[in-house]
Structure formats: C-alpha cells, structure tokens
Structure 1
C-alpha cells in the first residue's frame, strides 16, 4: 500500500489520468500473460474465506467484492483483473456499434477528495468485436482440466449516434451478441456521458427496453438463464428509485446495480473553481457514498430480501464495504478506489471483511439471492458456452 502510494504521488499523479490507466492496465495484462501467473496470483490474492462466499444470480461468488464496469471496456484483461482478488469482473460498457467516445481530455482526478470525474462516453470496440474476444477466451478455456473460476458480467449501453427511438434495437443487438459469453448482463441507462441515455430510466421507456433485452438473451442462449440487471443513477429522485424498484419486481428482473456516477458536485473539498475547470462528467469516489447508500436502502426496502442488489459508489475501505452490506447489498463493486489504493485493493477489502466477521461484526454472506425467474438452483453459468462443464462458480462509463 505505502509503495503504491509513493509511486502514485511520484509518477501516476503527474500523468494524464487516461494515459496512467492504459499503462497500469497494460502492466496487469502483461503479468497475466505469463504462463501460470494469473492462477498463482489469484490463489494468493483472491477471496479465500468460505464465509464470504455469496450465492446470487444462480452463481457462486467466492466473495462479495467485484470490479465495476468502466475499467475493462473491451474485455481484454479479465484474467489479470480477477487475479488481483476481485470476486467478479464486469466488462464494458459495450455499445451496439464501435465508437471512440468523447474527445480527450475526458478523465480527471480530484486527488484531494480521492474522486474522479469522467466523460469518457462509452469508448469501446462494439458488441461484435467484444463478443469475438470473449468467444476466443472461452475457446481457450475449453481444453483446461480446471473450469474457469472468473465470473464475468457484461455491461451494455446505447451507441451515441443511435437515436432514442432506436435504442431498443441497439441494446438488443448487444444482448444477442454478448449474452452467450456473460454470466450476467447489465443494462446501463445511467451514465451521464451519452446524451439522452438517462431518459431511458423513466419506467415507461425502461419497461419495453428491459423486456426486449430479456427476450433477446433468452433467444441467444436458450439453454441457460442469463441474469439481467439494470444500473441506475444516484441522481434519480426518490420516487423514481421506487418506480424502478417496482418495475424490477413486476417484470422479474434479476437485480439492480446502485449506483452509477453522479452529476452533482456537492460535498467536495476540492476548490470549486478547480472542479468547474474539469467540466462536465460523472463524479465517482467517496463523496458518492452517502447517496449510494440511501438509494440502496430504499431499493432493499422496496424489492424485499430476495432480489440481488449490487452496491457501488464510494467504497474505499472494508468498513465502507460492510456498510453497504448492512444496507442491503448482496454484492459490491468498486472502481475509483482501485485507482487510488492500488493493485492489492480488492484483497484488502475481502481480508478486512473477514476480520470484521471474526470479531463478530457484519451479517453473514452465505445466503442466496436471485434464484427466482425459473433459474435452476444448480445453475452453473455459461456452462455450454465456455467449456466449464459442472463449475458452480460461473465465469461504464
């Protein structure tokens, strides 16, 4: 931790944030490419406490804490990221068509607050290219005696150039291409960086979108239930959070991810002129945590105890993670803390949760969530698609 902080201050903090991301991610990928390195690292850094295992979405997660979408947009570093101790990795956001995203600079640090502002704009290779990449990874796994231990979620969003009235077809294209390689799908309607995207959170628009994506996933993968979640914004009014929760229950959605980045700039210690100079974009980091927890508690109260809720937004420490679990989260995700805390961050979160349980704090994690909707209790995740056979662990901006 201290070594990374020194490196961050001396090197990374002086770099353009997007360049620093590419260099750091490149190092992770290069390490994972060394034969045997990823499994060896995962055996040391991955969650090892059986008490932290979570059964949700018809899958068995080795721990509750995963990597949020936005870090690996194109599914190029899944194994390296999982090797660092994340219990699952959500790739994307992937759009129906390839797109470059917004003009740089588009990623900014607020170091005093340990926050980020991004207006990346869903830069990615497109659904077809990412599906091909996931298919090649799956093919490599077929010959392994040991099935793939990495649970992979795929986050899909709207192509910027696609008009709102054609958004459903765009999402359906992505779902059709990517569902065969996903342990779960997330419909992202909450990034502030695609014009009009957040309008899709209105339930009268969201209902047909989610139903269409559900049908597309069913048709693409007829022999397996691919869990479907929706990711919502922290900026939704309380009544809109309630409306999304009611819709999720009504249509049998598998889960909700709460929350995405915020357009608010409240609560920052960074001087306002410095914040304003960064311009528009989604804010992430510790300042988001209070609202993310509010939304999470409201959702849990509304949807009941069974639906899977993934809590994300401002988690930095194991104490933060436990607070989200106590607020009703089934699983957790983080991203910004990874930038500021370094490569062993996920390991520290899981170890801290284990120590807290050993001292009698925190609720148990071995319960099951999200097994409705006709999902077999013995669901194995992507079973016929990546050669994992009888594995029970399953494989955004």
Structure 2
C-alpha cells in the first residue's frame, strides 16, 4: 500500500533519478531496520544451494551492492547484484533509462555503470545479509572483445569468496560487441577458461561456487541449442534466461519506444519465456534454468516455472508493482514442483 502512494511521486522524476532515490532509501532502511527474512515457501534445492523461495532479484537494480540489507527486507529467496566490472566506469551518457508505462516496460542503455569490483566486494563484506547472494560480472567497455575473458576472470577471482553463485553476463546490448561472446567459438573459449578458474578457486577456498551464464532473448532456436551444448560441455552450473531485448515490435508507437538500449518488463515476457522453453528442451534437466524477463504478477512467475525454469527473477516489475510483487510471486509458486518429481 505504501508503494501505491509513493509510486506517483517517483514517476514525476526521470527514471534514473527515481531509481537512485529508491536505492538510497533501501540502503537507509537496511541500515536502520532489523534484518529482513525471505517470504515463507517450500524451499528449492538448485545448483547445490537451498533457496528459501523461488523468487529472486535480478541483477541491475543494485549494481554495487549498496542496498543488500534493504533489498533483503522485500522477502526475496535470493538476491543478485551487479553487473560489476574490474575497473569503475561511468556508463553511457544520460538520459539512459526510460519508462514505458503504457506497456509496463523499461528501456535502458546504462552501459555497466558501476564503481568497480573492489567497491562491490567491500559493500558485500559489510552487509548483514547471510542469504543466497549472486554476483553478476562483466567486462569494461574499453576492453577489447578478444581480451574479454581477462576481465571476467579478474572479477571472478575477487567475488568468488563472497558469492553464493556467480553470473557471467555476456548478453547486455549496451556494451559494444558484448553479445559476440554468445557465438560458438567465443563462448567455448570463455566458458573453458572460467571453468578452469572455478576449479582452481574451489580448491583454494575450500568451497564450490556455482557459475551461471546470462543470455539474451534475441536468439533463434539453433543458437539456443548451441549455447545449451556449450553449457553441458563445460559443466556450467546454471543459465539465466534472459537479459533485455533489442526488439521493438511490442512498443511501436509508444513514447520512448524508439530509444536505443535493452527493453525489459512486460514486452519481453513472451520472447524470454520462449527461450526458457527452448533451453528446457535442449538441456533436458541437465542443468537448471533461472528465468528473468517480464514478470509482472504471480501468474507470470508460475508460467516461467511451467516453461522449464527452476527459479524466477524480477526487476522491472518492481518499478510498476513494488514489494507486493515479491509476495505475490512467492505465493503463486510456493508449492510448485518440477514435473519430474
């Protein structure tokens, strides 16, 4: 109810200013209020981790891990922060985030704006949160694509001891050439090097931290199958489907619909769910899928699981629904079981 009152005020601000205000408020709440608890549900065992419920926060809202404790009060079963890069970078020029309320969508071209992996690591160390924390890693904008793996490995080394799982983001449309890493040879090389580093780090730290790969919705079925084959071949632990889309067929004629960047929210639901379904068929249960993209209510969350996902992430839906979306999605999925069970 409180968010229903506050939302009209937030929507008088430009989208990024509202985002910053919300993040600062969550940071304050996390420092001043008691620790939050996940919404109660049937726990889910995924990637060797025990998730208290199946609904998590997608990366992008808290890039630097500044508001982890405040976000934990919203009832998530897990939280993913980032995308983080080895060095700080400002991202693309503003304005770079646009609300499309007619279709409950958002377009952003942030460009991995963040304070660098060392700042994120310091923030994680000071947080009280002890739940499942994913850390999403990327490459700096000025790192040549042929050297991209070096950036991912640098981030992995620093976040490995702090994360419950690590997500490799190769699917943002806002870093030049990044999606080339979804190509067959590029992906094979990247995953091979990351898997070797994971093995080394597991030995060094005495704990195994799962790796997930985040992919785009703008893939055809043959590309999805190739990615599924690579995930199996390199024994990657999970896949997140999907990031934002560059397609604009759902927002033609809508104000800001022509803006460059990644489109998220309700307009990407269909495309991202199709990729989940294709991945589920290609992977045949060999590794779990985390679904993200267009979840605006409990029925959307349940549909992602029915399409083949094991966990669901939300982000853009929070802009339109607030914390009530988390509770609704948890209640809609609390008793869901995989078909094989």
Q: Do they superpose with TM above 0.5?
A: yes
| Corresponding residue for residue 114 of structure 2 | 124
- List gaps (5 residues or longer) in structure 1: 142-147, 358-362, 369-397
Query: Does the alignment pair 1:345 with 2:307?
Result: no
Q: Say which of 267, 271, 278 aligns to 1:291.
A: 271
Report deviation, 1:4. 2.4
| Corresponding residue for residue 35 of structure 2 | 38
Report deviation, 1:129. 2.3
Query: Does the alignment pair 1:191 with 2:183?
Result: no
- Give runs of aligned pairs for residues 7-22 of structure 1, distance below 5 A: 7-9=6-8, 11-22=9-20
Report deviation, 1:280. 0.6
Report deviation, 1:366. 11
Contact 1:55 1:367 in 2 (8 A): no
| Corresponding residue for residue 4 of structure 2 | 5
18-27 or 114-123, larger mean C-alpha shift:
18-27
Distance 2:164 2:29 in 1: 25
Contact 1:128 1:174 in 2 (8 A): no
Give per-residue Cα distances to partners, 1:301-357, cap 9 Å, x unaligned.
111124110011101111111111111101110100011101232112112334xx4
Aligned-CA RMSD value: 1.8
Distance 2:115 2:243 in 1: 21
| Distance of aligned partners of 1:273 and 1:73 in 2 relative to their CA distance in 1, 3 Å threshold | closer
Contact 1:54 1:367 in 2 (8 A): no
Q: Say which of 230, 234, 246 aligns to 2:213.
A: 230
Q: Which runs of 4+ in 1 moved over 3 A?
A: 365-368
Distance 2:79 2:339 in 1: 20
Q: Say which of 240, 253, 256 aligns to 2:239.
A: 256
Q: Secondary structure at the match of 2:134?
A: strand
Distance 1:274 1:129 in 2: 33
Q: Secondary structure at the match of 2:65?
A: coil
Distance 1:154 1:12 in 2: 27
| Distance of aligned partners of 1:272 and 1:29 in 2 relative to their CA distance in 1, 3 Å threshold | closer
205-214 or 344-353, larger mean C-alpha shift:
344-353
Which protein shows a greater Rg?
1
Give per-residue Cα distances to partners, 1:16-61, cap 9 Å, x unaligned.
11111111121111111125x223xx2xxx3212x2x110111100
Q: Say which of 313, 318, 321 aligns to 1:333.
A: 313
| Corresponding residue for residue 87 of structure 2 | 97
- Give runs of aligned pairs for residues 145-156 of structure 1, distance below 5 A: 149-156=130-137
Query: TM-score if structure 1 supplies the norm length?
Result: 0.82
| Corresponding residue for residue 210 of structure 1 | 191
| Corresponding residue for residue 173 of structure 1 | 154
Distance 2:255 2:316 in 1: 22
Distance 2:272 2:303 in 1: 11
Q: Secondary structure at the match of 2:35?
A: helix
Q: Secondary structure at the match of 1:275?
A: coil
Distance 1:67 1:285 in 2: 14
Distance 2:222 2:265 in 1: 25
Distance 2:58 2:234 in 1: 25
Report deviation, 1:80. 1.3
Report deviation, 1:226. 1.1
Distance 1:99 1:77 in 2: 19
Distance 1:47 1:34 in 2: 20
- Give runs of aligned pairs for residues 56-135 of structure 1, distance below 5 A: 56-135=46-125
Contact 2:83 2:135 in 1 (8 A): yes
Give per-residue Cα distances to partners, 1:113-133, cap 9 Å, x unaligned.
110000000001112222233
Report deviation, 1:367. 8.4
Aligned residues: 339
Report deviation, 1:273. 6.1
Contact 2:97 2:107 in 1 (8 A): yes
Query: TM-score if structure 2 supplies the norm length?
Result: 0.95
Report deviation, 1:156. 0.5
- List gaps (5 residues or longer) in structure 2: none
Distance 2:340 2:66 in 1: 32
Structure with the greater relative contact order (CA < 8 A, sep ≥ 6): 1 or 2?
Answer: 1
Contact 2:56 2:79 in 1 (8 A): yes
